[in-house]
Amino acid sequence: CAVTVWLLEQAAVAGHTALDLPVLAEALGRRGVGDAEAAVQAAVAEGDALVLQDPLEEAPGTTPAADAPRDGTGAGGEADGDAGDGAGTEEEPERPVRILVGLERYAMAEESLADGLARLVNAA
């Protein structure tokens, strides 16, 4: 856990408030941590680190509309969706995400800054 926090602090000093999970796991392995996943989970469990999900961009040439018919709902699913339970199927399809790990204090500060900037933009 301490090595995980130290690596995340070093990344923050270099300007990265979060690291990709595979990058962090590789760095932990280079530092002699046998079970990198357990080390990250321990840091998260102790509240020192947060796991974040960053949606990846759509692949060029693909659109959510092109992917939608593959789920098998078709027109019948859309008609049933108006009745209630099927409404969840009309939401955006799940997008692939990048798993990031960051120090809790920096992640919260970054989120607070983003919220403040969004309020400023909306006020203009």
Q: Which domains, from first to last, does the chain contain?
A: 2-57+97-123 (1.10.10)
Residue 70 to residue 86: CA distance in whole angstroms:
16
User: Which pLDDT belongs to residue 13?
Assistant: 94
The span from the CA of 25 to the CA of 10, in Å, is: 15
Select the more confidently predicted residue: 121 or 68.
121
Beta bridge partners of 49: 103
53, amino acid identity: Q
Tell me how far the alpha carbon of residue 23 is from its chain's centroid: 15
3-state percent helix, strand, coil for the chain, nearest multiple of 5: 60, 15, 25
69-107: per-residue pLDDT in tens?
A: 334 444 444 444 444 555 555 666 778 999 999 999 888
pLDDT tens digits, one per residue of 2-57: 999 999 999 999 999 899 999 999 999 999 999 999 999 999 999 999 999 988 88
What local confidence, expressed as pLDDT, does residue 76 receive?
43
pLDDT (0 to 100) of residue 54: 84
